[in-house]
Chain A
Amino acid sequence: MFRSKTKVLQLAVTLLACAFLLVPTILSVMAGLTVNYFKGISSGLTLKWVYQVWELYSESIFLSIWLALACLIVTLIIGLPAAYGLARHPGWLSRMLEEFISLPLAVPGLALALALLQLYGTLKGFRASWTFILVGHVLYTLPFMVRSILAVLAAMDLKTLEEGAATLGASPWQRFRDIVVPNAMPGILAGALTVVTLSLGEFNLTWMLHTPYLKTLPVGLADSYASMRLEIASAYTLIFFIIIVPLLMAMQWASARAQRIAK
C-alpha cells in the first residue's frame, strides 16, 4: 500500500486536511470538558460545564427543537402540494415559480430578516412571538423541501401512474394519498432532514429576528461565546455537535438515497 511515493503523498495530504478540520473541533470539545482550560487536561476532566450550559440554555435548546419541528410541519404542508403542482404542470410558468420560491437561497439571511422586520416589526404580538422566527425559517427552508420532493417526482411518470389509479376507481385525493405521497417519500424524507438540520443551525436570520426571551440554539451559542467563560462556550459547542451531527449524517444518507431514486 505504501509502495509508491504518490500513495504516501496522497495519504499525507488527506491526513493533514483531516487534522486541519478536526484538531480545532477536538480542542474546542476538550475545552468544554476540562476543569480549567488554561491549565490544560492536567487540571482534570469534568461534566460541570455541560450541566451549567444545560441550566443556562436548556430553553434555547427546546425552543430550537420546537421551531425545527414546527418549521418541518409548515414546509411539508406547503411544500408537498407545491412540489406536486409543479411536477404535474411542467412548463415555463412552473420553472419561474420554482425559481421564485428558491429566491431566499440567493438573498442573504440578514436582508431577508430586515425585510421581515420592516414589514411586520410593528405588529407587536407577532414580532415578539416565536412564530415570527418560524416565518423566517420557513422562508429559508421551503425551497429545500420543494426541490427535494420535486426531484423525485419529476423522475417518474406521475401523470400515467395517476391515470392508472384513476381507471381503477381512485378519486383525486386517493391518488394523492396512495400513489403520489408514497412514491415521493424518499424526497420527503431527504427534504425533512434538510429542513430540520437547517432550522436548528440557522443563525443569520434568527439572530436578527430573535428577542432576549427567544434565543435559539445557535443564537444561544453566540451569546455564550460573548458573555460566558470559555469552558461553558465550549461545552455549548459540544452539545450543539451532539444534536446536529447525527442529523447531518441522516440528511446525507437520505439525500443520497433520494438522488439514487431520482436517477
Chain B
Amino acid sequence: MTLRLTNTAKTYPDGTRALLPTELYVDQGEIVSLLGPSGCGKTTLLRIIAGLETPDAGSEIWFGSDNVTSLPVERRKVGMVFQFFALFPNMSVRGNIGYGLKMQKLPKSEIDARVTEVLDMCQLQEFSGRAVDALSGGQRQRVALARAIAPRPRLLLLDEPLSALDAALREELRDELAVLLREFDITAIFVTHDQDEAMAIADRVAVMSNGQVVQSGTPEDLYRNPKSAFVAGFVGNAMRFDGTCEGTKLKLAGGTLTLPGDGSGQDVFVRAEDVQIEADGPLTGRVETVTFLGTHYRIGISGITTDVLASTYVGQNAPRAGETVTAEIKPEMLMLLPKGAAGE
C-alpha cells in the first residue's frame, strides 16, 4: 500500500505547533525512517498516520486510494510497535500475537495457524506459552513486532522500537529488524533519533527538525549531499569550518583550503573520515586527544579552526597528544552549504 500525506499539520490547543504542514509519500513496500532529535515532531507525525492523534483541519491522509483522515485508529488496519512495547500483561505471548486476529473475528483454527506462522518468522516458538513479563527486552520487542504484523496490516509503524533496549542488544536487533521488515514485504515507517539505526534499516530517510521534514532521500544521498547545516550535522556529524572564503580559497587559522567551488556566502563542512593526517598537508595543528576505537583512532586537532577538528586515523602509528601534525582534505570532500540556513 502507498501512503500519501498532504498538508498534514498538528497544532496543540495551547498553540504549540508540533507539526508544520507536511507532505509525505511512501511507496508500496518502502521502508521510510523519520529521523530527528527529540521534540522535532517525528512521533507526532507517526501518531497522526496511525490515527492516535487528530491532525489539524485541512490535513489529508491517504492509504492507497482510501482517504483515512477521519477514520478512527481501530479501523485503519495499521500495525504499530511502541517504544516500550505495550504488551498486554494479562495475556500470554500467543494471546498478545493473536489479539489483532481475534478482533478481526477470524475462526479459532485460523488464528492458531497464523499465530504459529508469525511465531516461527520471529523465532519465538519456544516462548509462545510464556507470560510477557517473563521475557527479556529483546524477546518483548520481537513479540511486539509479531503482534503488530500478525493481522497483516496495510502499514507498519514503529515508534523508536529499539530505544528501550541496551546498547549491545540494540545493534543486534537493528540488523535483525532490517531483515525481518524486508521479509514481511510491508510498507513501514520507522521513527528514530539514532542516525545509525535509520540508515541501517530504511530505504529512505526523512530528516525532521522543528516540526518539518527538512530533507528526504536515501541514506547515501543524505550523507553525501546534505541540503542544510542541520542535516549535515545530524547525519554523520559534519563539522563546520570557521574561516573566511575568498573565491575558491578558505582561509583558516591553521592554513588554507581549496574549495570545490565559489565559497562566498557559504558555510564549509567536513566529516572526520575526510580529514587525513598526511605529511606536508596544507593545514597545521596540534593533537589534543587520541581515542582508540578498535577499527580506527579518533584524533582531535586544535589550531586549524576555532573548535577542535576531529580526524579519523586508520593505521598503526597514530600521532600522540601534543604533537604537531599536518592534515589534508580533498576539495571534493568539502560540503558547501548556504550560510545562515542552520535550521537548528
Whether B148 sits at the interface, judged by CB under 8 Å, is yes
Query: What separation, in Å, do the CA atoms of A169 and B87 have in the docked complex?
Result: 15
Query: What separation, in Å, do the CA atoms of A174 and B78 have in the docked complex?
Result: 17
Query: What separation, in Å, do the CA atoms of A156 and B84 have in the docked complex?
Result: 12
Asked if residues B84 and A165 are in contact (CB atoms below 8 Å), the reply is no
Residue on B nearest A156 in the bound complex, by CB:
B89
Whether A160 sits at the interface, judged by CB under 8 Å, is yes
- Among the listed A163, A168, A185, which residue makes an inter-chain contact with B100, where contact means beta carbons less than 8 Å apart? A168
Closest Cβ of chain A: how far from B52's Cβ, in Å?
Answer: 6
Whether A183 sits at the interface, judged by CB under 8 Å, is yes
Q: Which of A181-224 contact B (CB under 8 A)?
A: 182-183, 185
Whether B99 sits at the interface, judged by CB under 8 Å, is yes
Query: What separation, in Å, do the CA atoms of A171 and B73 have in the docked complex?
Result: 9
Give the size category of A's interface with B. 10 to 19
Q: State whether A157 and B86 are in contact (beta carbons under 8 Å apart), knowing that A166-B52, A168-B151 are contacts in the complex.
A: yes
Q: Which of A162-183 contact B (CB under 8 A)?
A: 163-171, 174, 178-179, 182-183
Whether A161 sits at the interface, judged by CB under 8 Å, is yes
Asked if residues A160 and B104 are in contact (CB atoms below 8 Å), the reply is no
Residue on B nearest A162 in the bound complex, by CB:
B86
* B contact residues around A169 at 8 Å (CB): 74-75, 77, 100, 103-104, 151
Q: State whether A161 and B79 are in contact (beta carbons under 8 Å apart), knowing that A168-B103, A169-B100, A169-B104 are contacts in the complex.
A: no
Asked if residues A163 and B151 are in contact (CB atoms below 8 Å), the reply is no
Query: What separation, in Å, do the CA atoms of A87 and B147 have in the docked complex?
Result: 26
Query: What separation, in Å, do the CA atoms of A171 and B90 have in the docked complex?
Result: 18
Asked if residues B148 and A167 are in contact (CB atoms below 8 Å), the reply is yes
* A contact residues around B206 at 8 Å (CB): none
* A contact residues around B84 at 8 Å (CB): 157, 160
> B130-148 toward A: CB 8 Å interface, digit per residue (1/0)?
0000000000000000011
Q: Which of A5-53 contact B (CB under 8 A)?
A: none
Asked if residues A160 and B89 are in contact (CB atoms below 8 Å), the reply is no
Query: What separation, in Å, do the CA atoms of A174 and B88 have in the docked complex?
Result: 13
Asked if residues A183 and B90 are in contact (CB atoms below 8 Å), the reply is yes
Query: What separation, in Å, do the CA atoms of A178 and B147 have in the docked complex?
Result: 15
* B contact residues around A161 at 8 Å (CB): 86, 88
Query: What separation, in Å, do the CA atoms of A183 and B133 have in the docked complex?
Result: 13
Q: State whether A183 and B52 are in contact (beta carbons under 8 Å apart), knowing that A163-B82, A169-B151 are contacts in the complex.
A: no
* B contact residues around A156 at 8 Å (CB): 89
Asked if residues A183 and B89 are in contact (CB atoms below 8 Å), the reply is yes
- Among the listed A160, A171, A178, A182, which residue makes an inter-chain contact with B86, where contact means beta carbons less than 8 Å apart? A160
* A contact residues around B77 at 8 Å (CB): 169
Q: Which of B84-102 contact A (CB under 8 A)?
A: 84, 86-90, 99-100
Asked if residues B73 and A163 are in contact (CB atoms below 8 Å), the reply is yes
Tell me which of B80, B87, B89, B90 has the highest count of chain A C-beta atoms within 10 A of its own C-beta.
B90
Whether B118 sits at the interface, judged by CB under 8 Å, is no
Query: What separation, in Å, do the CA atoms of A174 and B99 have in the docked complex?
Result: 11
* A contact residues around B103 at 8 Å (CB): 168-170, 174
Whether B5 sits at the interface, judged by CB under 8 Å, is no
Closest Cβ of chain B: how far from A75's Cβ, in Å?
Answer: 22
Tell me which of B78, B79, B99, B148 has the highest count of chain A C-beta atoms within 10 A of its own C-beta.
B99
* A contact residues around B80 at 8 Å (CB): 163-164, 167
> B56-90 toward A: CB 8 Å interface, digit per residue (1/0)?
00000000000000001111111110101011111
* A contact residues around B73 at 8 Å (CB): 163, 166-167
Residue on A nearest B80 in the bound complex, by CB:
A167
Q: Which of A128-185 contact B (CB under 8 A)?
A: 156-157, 160-161, 163-171, 174, 178-179, 182-183, 185
**Could you list 17 examples of A-B contacts with CB < 8 Å?**
A160-B82, A160-B86, A163-B73, A163-B80, A163-B86, A164-B147, A166-B72, A167-B73, A167-B157, A168-B148, A168-B151, A169-B104, A170-B99, A170-B103, A178-B88, A179-B90, A183-B89
Residues of B within 8 A of A (CB): 50-52, 72-80, 82, 84, 86-90, 99-100, 103-104, 147-148, 151, 157
